[in-house]
Amino acid sequence: MRVLDPSSPAARDLASGRFRIRTATVADLAAVTVPWMTEAGWNPGLHDAATFHVADPEGFLVGELDGEPIATVSGVRYSDDFAFLGCYIVREAFRGRGYGLAIHEAARRRLDGCVQGGDGVLEKVTVYEGIGRVLAYRNARYEAYGTGRADDDSSGDSSDDPTVDARTIPMEAIEAVDRPCFPAPRRAFLEAWIGQADAHARALPAADGPLRGYGVIRRCDRGWKVGPLFAHDVTAAEAILDALLARIPRADPWILDIPEPNAAARALVARRGMRQVFATARMYTGPAPDIDLSRVFGVTSFELG
């Protein structure tokens, strides 16, 4: 596995104290990480700083050179067995000098003992393999316009909407849908994610028994992102998606990230005429977690899994 070269500028600056890696606060995420994500074209949500931080308050790092931020990464530990790495950005002027590898190593050390997941750009797969990750599958980002509500209808409520506000559903019921689709429990994060401002969360009840699925759509720097969209089948996923889209302006763009192994999700985006705009490689440092990708019609986020 690739490790930091002790003769690199980053290693020397770590030793001298010029380069310091510390835990990032919510304020750091709001002032550094999220703006850098915007500059990089990642299109973060308006409230990602606060909601991301809830997932693991110790899991976000910032690297400072002479007191100025030059690198960030997240290593969110969801359980003793599973963690997710993301938010990995190094300012362009400082790339190729070891600072990124140094902060990445700091995150990985904190997650020792966990299978560590991550979504990376396809052209860097060999780089990620060099730090111990193994390709599991691809996620693909799709974008569309024009299927939301009329601009003068703010509620999105309709007599034929089979969904309910997910914020009124007991969290245990949401977790029962979430857990088969995600490698670890994440209750605190789900409470923050579903309850965030500038977002809508819908759940689809069954006639009797557990929920058939739930989904969230949040306002982003540009348009909206759907995620997660977890459902027992494509019929339920489409009903939840329609309910989410009915609550955003018709002219706004919206994005859905799907795992490519889910054939029903691929068919869903094809039926809706969505355009693929990006793809990532989902990689893990150990065996891929046993989750039911057939129920994953929308990834929560490329940064947190």
Closest CA to 116 of 163, 157, 84, 91: 84
Paired strand residues for 61: 23, 73
Average pLDDT over residues 111-130: 91
Average pLDDT of the residues of the chain: 94
Give the tens place of pLDDT for each residue, 129-154: 888 899 999 999 999 986 655 454 55
**Residue 132 Rama label (left phi>0; alpha psi -120 to 50; beta):** left
For each of the domains in the chain, give its residue range(s) and CATH number, in order of start. 9-113 (3.40.630.30), 140-298 (3.40.630.90)
Query: How far apart are alpha carbons 179 and 170 in whole angstroms?
Result: 15
Report, as an integer, the average pLDDT of 13-34. Answer: 97
Using one digit for the tens of pLDDT, what is the confidence trace for 183-225? 999 999 999 999 999 999 999 998 887 899 999 999 999 999 9
Mode of pairing for the β-strands spanning 115-121 and 82-90: parallel
pTM of the entire predicted model: 0.93
Q: What is the average pLDDT across 257-263?
A: 98
Tokens of 243: 């309910």
The pLDDT, as a whole number, for residue 131 is 81
Q: Which of 55-59, 140-144, 148-152, 242-246 has the lowest mean pLDDT?
A: 148-152
